[in-house]
């Protein structure tokens, strides 16, 4: 049975604590309300960002409501596309990484789109920082150096996920910092 969720602006709330725990244990989805670094069992409702909410709605894991009316996955995706610049690119990379078994979290505090875990927060450290770009977008080499140095300083691999706008095919470019 799908978990009931409520759309609130650009976030989706799972009001039931029991459902929140179930969803967290299923794959570290969302964040407990008001907890920046959740560890262990959660004791607060979960808040999902729109990208992960669309992912879960498309798979029938959650049903999202706004003002008492149910939004189907396509309606939620349309809302996300309206609110999030680059939604299609961000979603495509999120979906591909989640489907491959990774736990994908916001990488904002590292200056990236995603921090990617092999097992999950509190279990391991995210080994990858992923920045999502349009495949045809030019990238300033200095920005690559900055991102590479930052990721190296926090012991993570820097990855650019380049998304082809026509096919939505993703090409991953991984960088390692080396001394010459």
List residues with catalytic annotation: 117, 125, 156
- Cα angle 77, 98, 170; round to 5: 80
d(C-alpha 150, C-alpha 142), whole Å: 12
User: The dihedral of CA 59, 61, 65, 68: what is its sign?
Assistant: positive
Q: Are 177 and 153 in contact (CB under 8 A)?
A: no
d(C-alpha 173, C-alpha 89), whole Å: 15
DSSP track, 37-62: S--SS--S-EEEEHHHHHHHHHTTSE
Three-state SS for 26?
Answer: helix
């Amino acid at each position: 049975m799908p978990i009931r969720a409520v759309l609130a602006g650009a976030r989706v709330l799972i009001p039931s604590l029991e459902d929140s725990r179930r969803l967290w244990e299923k794959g570290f989805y969302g964040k407990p309300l008001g907890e920046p670094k959740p560890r262990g069992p959660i004791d607060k409702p979960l808040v999902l960002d729109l990208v992960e909410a669309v992912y879960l709605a498309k798979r029938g894991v959650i049903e999202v409501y706004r003002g008492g009316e149910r939004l189907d996955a396509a309606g939620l995706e349309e809302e996300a596309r309206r609110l999030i610049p680059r939604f299609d690119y961000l979603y495509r990379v999120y979906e591909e990484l989640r489907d491959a078994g990774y736990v994908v979290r916001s990488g904002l505090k590292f200056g990236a789109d995603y921090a990617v875990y092999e097992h999950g927060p509190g279990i391991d450290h995210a080994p990858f920082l992923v920045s999502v770009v349009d495949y045809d977008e030019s990238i300033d080499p200095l920005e690559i150096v900055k991102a590479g140095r930052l990721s190296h300083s926090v012991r993570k691999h820097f990855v650019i996920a380049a998304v082809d706008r026509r096919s939505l095919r993703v090409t991953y470019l991984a960088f390692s910092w080396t001394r010459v």
